C-alpha cells in the first residue's frame, strides 16, 4: 500500500492526460477537487487489486460528458459524493474502495477526491488503461460484468439510478439524461466484487500514470529530454513530428468530434498527419495511411515540453509530436477489438497493432 499525496497529484494528473489520448476531459478541475479533498481529509491509500477481499464492494466513480463542456460547465464536486452515496444507499451496503473507470484524463484523478473524503482506498486499476468515449467500452464488459446499477448526479442536485438490461443500454439512457443535464454529470457504475476487479481490470494503471507524469516533469533532473524520457517509460513509438495546420471540432451530443491536421516538420517535412477523434484520438493517418488505430493509444504532445494536448485545446500553429502506444492486451483480443476497435467507431480499416503498422 502506498499513500497518494498532493504532490503525487501533479504526476498522476499529467500521466492521466497522456492516457486520455486527447479525450477523457482535462484533469485540471479534477486535480483541484482531489487536492482540496486530500488537504481536508488526508492522503489516499492506493492499494493493489490483490489486496482486496474477494467480497469487497468496489465502485468506479467518474465524470461523464463531453470534454468540451467540462471546460465551461464546472463541477461543484458534490455530484461525485452524491453518486457514491446513492450507490451505497441503493445497494444497501458500504463501498469498500473506489477506482477509476478510465484512468485517462479527468477520470484518472476524480476518484481520488472521493476516496479522500470517504476515507477509503483507491484501487490501482481501471477498466481501460486509457480513455474511451462510451460507458460500455471497458474491460469489465469483456468479462460480462454489468454496468448497472448506475448512479448519476448533477451539480444541481438531481440524482438517479439506472438498472439496465445490458451495458449498451446504460450508455444510451445515461447519455440521454446527461445531455439534458447540460452535457456533464457524475456517475457511479460497474459495482464489483474484489474478485471481479482482480479478474477484469487493467492493473497498476494509477502507478503507471504517475510514472509517465514523473518521466515528463522530472526529466531535467536526470539530464534527459522530457520527450525521450516519456517515450522510454511509455514504450511509445514516435509517429510524427510537425505543426498543427488545421482543426475542426464540434460538440455532438456528449461527444467532441473532429479532425486535427498536422503539417510535417524535420524528418516528416513534406508529409501530413490526420488525427480523427471522438473525444479520444481514434485513428492516426500519415499521408492517408493508418499508423495507429484504436484501441491502441494515440497521444498528441507539445514538442516544447512533452505535455499532452487534449482535443478540445488544440491550437493552430502548435509544434507537436504524435506518439503511438500499445493498448492493454485485453483490448487486442478479438472481443476487445470488437468492443473498442475501429469498426465500433465506423471506420472501415481493420485493427493492426501500432508496432506492426510502424515496423
DSSP state of 351: P
Q: Does position 1 bind its own copies by CB under 8 A?
A: no
How many residues in the shown chain lie near its own copies by CB under 8 A?
20
Q: Which residues contact 152 (CB under 8 A, 6 or more apart)?
A: 64, 83, 86, 158, 159, 160, 161, 162, 174, 177, 178, 185, 186, 187
Strand partners, 286: 273, 289
Smallest separation, CB 196 to its own copies (Å): 22
Question: Is residue 158 a contact residue for its own copies (CB under 8 A)?
Answer: yes
Helix (H) or strand (E) holding 101: none
Distance from CA of residue 107 to its chain's centroid? 6
Q: Does 249 bind its own copies (CB under 8 A)?
A: no
- What are residue 184's DSSP bridge partners? 65
Question: Of these, 6, 32, 71, 161, which contacts its own copies (CB under 8 A)?
Answer: 161
Closest approach, Cβ 294 to its own copies, in A, equals: 25
Measure the CA–CA gap between 200 and 181, rounded to whole angstroms. Answer: 31
Compose the 173-212 pattern: x for residues touching its own copies by CB under 8 A, - for all others: x--xx-xxx-------------------------------
What is the nearest approach in angstroms of its own copies to the Cβ of residue 160?
Answer: 5
Among 172, 193, 251, 313, binds its own copies (CB under 8 A): 172
Classified as helix, coil or strand, 208 is helix
- What string of DSSP letters covers 281-328? EEEEEETTEEEEETTSEEEEEETTT--B--GGG--TT-EEEEEEEPPP
Per the structure block, which three cell numbers stand in for 232?
A: 522510454
Other beta carbons within 10 angstroms of residue 228's beta carbon come to 13
x/- mask, its own copies, residues 77-116, rule CB under 8 A, reads ---------x---x--------------------------
Q: Does residue 163 touch its own copies according to CB under 8 A?
A: yes
| Shortest CB 75 distance to its own copies, Å | 16
Q: ∠ CA 310-40-23 to the nearest 5 degrees? A: 10
Q: How far is the CB of 302 from its own copies (least distance, A)?
A: 38
* Contact window for its own copies (CB under 8 A) among 124-132, 154-162, 253-261, 326-334: 154-162
Residue 157, interface with its own copies (CB under 8 A)? yes
| Smallest gap from residue 243 Cβ to its own copies (A) | 42
- Cα 115 from Cα 117, distance rounded (Å): 6
Query: Which chain residues interact with its own copies by CB under 8 A?
Result: 86, 90, 156-165, 169, 172-173, 176-177, 179-181
Amino acid at each position: 500500500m502506498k499513500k497518494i499525496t498532493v504532490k503525487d497529484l501533479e504526476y498522476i494528473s499529467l500521466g492521466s492526460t497522456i492516457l486520455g489520448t486527447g479525450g477523457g476531459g482535462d484533469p485540471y478541475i479534477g486535480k483541484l477537487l482531489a487536492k482540496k479533498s486530500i488537504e481536508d481529509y488526508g492522503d489516499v491509500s492506493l492499494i493493489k487489486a490483490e489486496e482486496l477481499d474477494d467480497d469487497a464492494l468496489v465502485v468506479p466513480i467518474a465524470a461523464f460528458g463531453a470534454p468540451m463542456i467540462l471546460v465551461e460547465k464546472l463541477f461543484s464536486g458534490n455530484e461525485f459524493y452524491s453518486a457514491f452515496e446513492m450507490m451505497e444507499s441503493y445497494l444497501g451496503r458500504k463501498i469498500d474502495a473506489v477506482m477509476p473507470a478510465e484512468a485517462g484524463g479527468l477520470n484518472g484523478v476524480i476518484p481520488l477526491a472521493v476516496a479522500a473524503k470517504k476515507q477509503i482506498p483507491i484501487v490501482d486499476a481501471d477498466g481501460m488503461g486509457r480513455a474511451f468515449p462510451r460507458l460500455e467500452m471497458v474491460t469489465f464488459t469483456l468479462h460480462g460484468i454489468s454496468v448497472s446499477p448506475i448512479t448519476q448526479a448533477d451539480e444541481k442536485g438531481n440524482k438517479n439510478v439506472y438498472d439496465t438490461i445490458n451495458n449498451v443500454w446504460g450508455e444510451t439512457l445515461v447519455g440521454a439524461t446527461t445531455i439534458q443535464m447540460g452535457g456533464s454529470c457524475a456517475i457511479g457504475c460497474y459495482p464489483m466484487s474484489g474478485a471481479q476487479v482482480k479478474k477484469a481490470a487493467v492493473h497498476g494503471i494509477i502507478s503507471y500514470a504517475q510514472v509517465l507524469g514523473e518521466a515528463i516533469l522530472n526529466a531535467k533532473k536526470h539530464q534527459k529530454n522530457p520527450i525521450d524520457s516519456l517515450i522510454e517509460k511509455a514504450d511509445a513509438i514516435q509517429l510524427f513530428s510537425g505543426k498543427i495546420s488545421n482543426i475542426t471540432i464540434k460538440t455532438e451530443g456528449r461527444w467532441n468530434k473532429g479532425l486535427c491536421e498536422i503539417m510535417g516538420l524535420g524528418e516528416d517535412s513534406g508529409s501530413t498527419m490526420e488525427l480523427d477523434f471522438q473525444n479520444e484520438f481514434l485513428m492516426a493517418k500519415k499521408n492517408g495511411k493508418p499508423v495507429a488505430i484504436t484501441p491502441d493509444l494515440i497521444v498528441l504532445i507539445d514538442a516544447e515540453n512533452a505535455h499532452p494536448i487534449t482535443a478540445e485545446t488544440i491550437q493552430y500553429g502548435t509544434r507537436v509530436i504524435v506518439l503511438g502506444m500499445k493498448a492493454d492486451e485485453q483490448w487486442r483480443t478479438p472481443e476487445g477489438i470488437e468492443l473498442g476497435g475501429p469498426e465500433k467507431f465506423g471506420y472501415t480499416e481493420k485493427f493492426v497493432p501500432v508496432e506492426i503498422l510502424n515496423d
